[in-house]
Homo-oligomer: A and B are copies of this chain.
Amino acid sequence: MKFSFKNDYSEGCHPNILQSLLLNNTDQQAGYGEDQYSLQAKELIKERIKSPASEIYFVSGGTQANLIVISSLLKPYQCVISASTGHILNNEAGAIEATGHKVLGIETQDGKISPSDIIPILKNHSNVPHQVMPKLVYISNSTELGTIYQAKELEELSAFCKEHKLYLFMDGARLGHGLTAEISDLTIEKVAELTDIFYLGGTKNGALIGEAIVINNPAIQEDFGFNIKQKGALLAKGRLLGIQFLELMKNDLYFDLAKHANQQAMKMKNAMAERGVQFLSDTYTNQIFPVISNEMIEILSEKFEFYVWKKIDEKYSAIRLITSWNTSDEAVDSFNEMINSKLS
């Protein structure tokens, strides 16, 4: 059986979650997110992010979170600005457009957006009323390319958005990984302070399903729950989401799991870097993109699964390796051994 570095959702969930599901299984609870676990989990999150006035909703997955957030905030003629690598642009089967909104893409090197990327878009969309009105900036942290936003970058982007009356929405499918990257100086408290709305991704960080949407801007909190229900995202047994986030938020398990994933990726990155391997982008999270020879790809494929991400030239391609909360030292060591023995 090959070990898979294909993604961070290959395994089940953290054992604490299963244990709690077992322990609390026969407990009768209110449905639709009114259960005690969900209520407690929301309190824990608000304490952790130091934002008592935020409102929190749990949904099942990232595409669902993205389409609910975006469709709830925009008027029919308003649109989204996203990096062209944004998940909503390429990997959600047109989910955002299906709710009626255009997504404008920005070509970037690293999957990140800065005010200088947005300025030309605003300029080129000033022909009222013939063009869509940009109204929401969608960013991911960590990004789809494994890169992260630092505190100063998010502060500048946030200030710019406020100045131009744009909502700032952070897709946090891999927020744990972004914030626990060794070089990150951004904190979850800062994220809550600087964004209008964001989510804490559970699915890619130790949960079976689950993203916690956190609404910080009071102006967009009203009646948000209707959107969850209308889009088919309100689980009758909301306890399933509540229990998971309750366990993940206890003792910062959420961040520990992400840190583990990052560390395993860094071990592999370092091993390859020592052997002179170049990387498509310089990442510090659980996604790495080493550029290796076709021959080496073949060798690694005997023991490991991963995606070949981008052909570089006739001899070399970048591959994508993703680690998870559950990636074992054995898997990493075995990978690094192969690197050390075959890349000389």
B-binding residues in A (CB < 8 A): 1, 3-4, 7, 9-13, 15, 18, 21-22, 24-32, 59-68, 71-72, 75-77, 79, 90-95, 97-103, 127-133, 203-204, 208-209, 223, 225-237, 239-240, 326
Contacts and interface: CB of A to CB of B under 8 A. Distances in A.
Contact of A232 (B9, B61, B326): B61
18 contacts: A3-B28, A9-B237, A11-B29, A12-B237, A18-B21, A21-B208, A61-B236, A76-B99, A77-B98, A90-B131, A93-B130, A93-B226, A93-B230, A95-B232, A97-B132, A102-B103, A209-B235, A209-B236
Per DSSP, chain A at the interface is: loop
A132 B12 CA distance: 28
Given A18-B21, A22-B22, 15 more contacts: A10-B29, A10-B31, A12-B21, A61-B232, A61-B236, A72-B75, A76-B227, A77-B226, A79-B97, A97-B102, A129-B229, A130-B229, A203-B235, A209-B209, A209-B237
A320 to B, nearest CB: 14
Most buried by B among A21, A31, A97, A203: A97
A60 B64 CA distance: 12
B235 A232 contact: no
A96 to B, nearest CB: 8
List the 10 closest A-B pairs by CB distance, nearest first. Answer: A64-B232, A77-B226, A12-B25, A94-B132, A129-B225, A9-B236, A93-B230, A10-B28, A93-B229, A97-B102
A228 to B, nearest CB: 7
Contact of A233 (B31, B64, B76, B236): B64
B93 A77 contact: yes
Contacts of A129: 93, 223, 225-226, 228-230, 234
A131 B234 CA distance: 13
A92 B239 contact: no
A71 B133 CA distance: 17
A217 to B, nearest CB: 16
